[in-house]
Amino acid sequence: MTDKPRTTHVPLNELDEQGRKLHFRSILDSVPDAMIVTDESGVMLAFSRAAEALFGYTQQEMLGQPVNVLMAGRDRANHDNYIGNYMTTGKRQIIGIGRVVMAAKADGTLFPIDLKIGEARIGEHFLFTAFIRDLTEQQRAELRIQEMQSELVHFSRLSAVGTMASALAHELNQPLTAVANYLEASRDLLDSPDPETKEILREALSEAARQAVRAGEIVRKLRSYVSRGEVDMRTVHLRPLLLDAIALSRISRDHADIPVNLELAVADQRVQADPIQVQQVVINLIRNAMDAMDGVDDARIRVRTLSPDEAGFVAIDVCDNGPGLPAEMKEAIFKPFATTKSQGMGLGLSICQTIVEAHGGEIRAITPPEGGTCFRFTLRADTGKT
């Protein structure tokens, strides 16, 4: 036999047995999905090249083995019953329908697959052909989308803080007015200190104290609403975190077309951080930069990371080429409610500071000589091996 392709036309059904085997083998070698053929007792009769790559077994190792070695959990134990049930009842649970199940690789890793099974009847016997597609990547992508969605929910909550703050002012007004009234009444009562007024005085003062505590609780509620509780520290890869933050900062934004560059001093820098909270910081800084550059020609934003310093902290800069910090704000920018924007709450930077400091880092504004504004914050570099 020669390796040269033959040019004479041979219909498939006229192939001799050797030809059919070769043809079947070429299918097994080239079919893009993992393909496994079993008999009705679940013993494997064919195992494609893609199946070898997917499961980490060779065809030699698998032929003659029960197919449930590739299955995980309950499916592994129950597979014989599944086939038995189908053979006696003819009821299709998976054949021709397809299903997502867990499978096991040779090294024991479990992973999700999309399993489709076809059947062929040959005389008294059945052959089952399974087509298997690895869903690991797809599930990872879905997980990522879910995470992005929860981040967005958190972000829209943060944007809602603006709306909430006016409600808050309203709510705070009531206990604070009450405190003022009780104290004024108490002051007047001091003029006639008989035992009866003393008792009223005591009540008025304790009521004032109660209202003051209530006001404190309202403020505490706002803080936990914004900071979403504890810092959930873990190892975080900075690059994807910053890329996501850049993408999120563009959502529903007037200046979303301002280019944002990312420069990394270390390609795969890892830090110890709560990723969602750190994203919040970056998003806030980028959005402030966008606001500051309203009307600026050639507006640009640069997000860049520096190599870890001697103390093991990585600096992250968000820089713009806007007009710089307003003179009257230089001292006050991190103070709550300090704002120069008509619609601003002045909470963004104070929230950023709370988050960065809860991470053990620092945040400050830098005024570069060439103009614009940079905000620099630091996070602890992760030196672990993982």
Q: Which residues bind ligand ADP (CB under 6 A)?
A: 284, 288-289, 292, 320, 322, 325-326, 329, 333, 338-341, 344-350, 373
Q: Which is nearer to ligand ADP, 45 or 338 (CB)?
A: 338
Q: How far apart are the C-alpha atoms of 348 and 58, rounded to whole Å?
A: 58
Closest residue to ligand ADP, Cβ-based? 348
Q: What gap in Å lies between CA 142 and CA 135, rounded to an integer?
A: 10
Smaller CB distance to ligand ADP: residue 63 or 169? 169
Cβ 134 to ligand ADP shortest distance, Å: 45
CA-CA-CA-CA torsion sign (48, 51, 56, 62):
negative
Rounded Cα–Cα distance for residues 91 and 341 (Å)? 68
Alpha-carbon gap, residue 331 to 344, rounded angstroms: 18
Report, in Å, the least distance between residue 339 CB and ligand ADP: 3
Of 3 and 328, the one with the shorter C-beta distance to ligand ADP is 328
- The strands making up 34-39's β-sheet, listed across from edge to edge, are 44-47, 34-39, 125-134, 110-122, 99-104
- Residue in this structure with the two tokens 């829209």, named with its chain if needed: 156
Residue 336 Cβ vs ligand ADP, minimum distance, rounded to whole Å: 8
Do the bridges between strand 44-47 and strand 373-380 make them parallel or antiparallel, or are there none, so unpaired?
unpaired
Least separation, in Å, of the C-beta of 100 and ligand ADP? 45
Smallest gap from Cβ 186 to ligand ADP, in A, equals: 38
Report CA-CA distances (Å) from 73 to 4, 76, 247, 334: 48, 6, 39, 54
- Minimum CB separation of residue 331 from ligand ADP in Å reads 11
Question: Which of 129/340 has CB closer to ligand ADP?
Answer: 340
Q: How many CB atoms lie within 10 A of CB 222?
A: 18
Of 80 and 331, nearer to ligand ADP (C-beta) is 331
Closest CB to ligand ADP among 181 and 340?
Answer: 340
